[in-house]
């Protein structure tokens, strides 16, 4: 897997198996959701990976017989994704999404919203390119994860936010989320949240804590999890509903 997917170098400046395992716990939950949607459709889905990076995660969706597109602002990553068979484009999300209305059955946006200033614009764009009853799967770091709650009580700075751009690899994060903040944002922007889970609940998310119980706790108590994972279905935006004749 490529470093653009496994955030290894961001945290440790070297390849880290622990962080790869941490990322895989999130992706396993996402793959379970996508497989479920594919089984309902009884065929492959047209999927968009927003912020696809080098396509390592997109390739997992492709491998279960979906048609996968991707967008990313870095040309080198898009080239790598294209070599894996992803229909990837170089594009800045601040300009919207370069696809026609109702083009996708499922959109995946992993660790993207925390980097976006205008989150509502991006969510409305995702809503626009989804088909009727299409599904969005979105993941974000949880500012209220269990370790951050303990850090707050000890007067320590929380994970996943930063006071400057060069700070522990999260300096590009401009938004912070809790479970309720994320679900509320989705509901206000054209989605009905159907499932909320987390990758795991753990004091220190490394290989030594990647036990089955930590993943089970993530599914049962997502408010304490490290990464929040929401599955939401498209609903009609209020602005899309024509007012009655008077």
d(CA 113, CA 221): 22
Mean pLDDT of 87-102: 94
pLDDT in tens, 204-235: 655 455 577 788 888 899 999 999 999 999 99
Is the pLDDT reported for residue 67 higher than 90?
yes
Give the ranges where 17-108 is alpha helix by DSSP (H). Answer: 17-41, 56-62, 75-83
Mean pLDDT of 103-124: 95
Question: What residues does each domain of the chain span?
Answer: 3-141+178-234
pLDDT in tens, 170-191: 657 889 999 999 999 999 999 9
Give the ranges where the chain is alpha helix by DSSP (H). Answer: 3-6, 8-12, 17-41, 56-62, 75-83, 119-129, 146-153, 179-188, 212-220
**Structurally, what CATH architecture does the domain formed by 3-141+178-234 represent?**
3-Layer(aba) Sandwich (3.40)
d(CA 43, CA 37): 9
């Amino acid at each position: 897997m490529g470093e653009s997917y496994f955030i290894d170098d961001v945290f440790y400046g070297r390849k880290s198996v622990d962080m790869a395992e941490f990322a895989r716990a999130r992706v396993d939950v996402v793959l379970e959701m996508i497989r479920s949607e594919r089984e309902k459709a009884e065929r492959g889905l047209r999927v968009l990976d927003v912020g696809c990076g080098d396509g390592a995660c997109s390739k997992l969706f492709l491998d279960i017989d979906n048609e996968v597109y991707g967008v990313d602002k870095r040309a080198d990553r898009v080239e790598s994704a294209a070599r894996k068979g992803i229909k990837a484009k170089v594009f800045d999300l601040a300009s919207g999404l370069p696809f026609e209305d109702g083009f996708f059955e499922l959109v995946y946006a992993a660790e993207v919203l925390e980097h976006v200033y205008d989150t509502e614009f991006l969510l409305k764009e995702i809503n626009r390119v989804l088909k009727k009853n299409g599904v969005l799967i979105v993941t974000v770091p949880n500012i209220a994860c269990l370790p951050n709650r303990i850090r707050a009580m000890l007067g320590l700075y929380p994970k996943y936010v930063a006071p400057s751009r060069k700070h522990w690899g999260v300096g590009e994060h401009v938004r912070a989320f809790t479970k309720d903040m994320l679900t509320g944002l989705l509901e206000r922007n054209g989605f009905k949240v159907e499932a909320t889970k987390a990758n795991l609940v753990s004091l220190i998310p490394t290989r030594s804590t990647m036990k089955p119980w930590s993943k089970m706790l993530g599914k049962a108590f997502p408010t304490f999890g490290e990464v929040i994972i929401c599955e939401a279905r498209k609903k009609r935006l209020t602005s899309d509903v024509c007012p009655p004749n008077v």
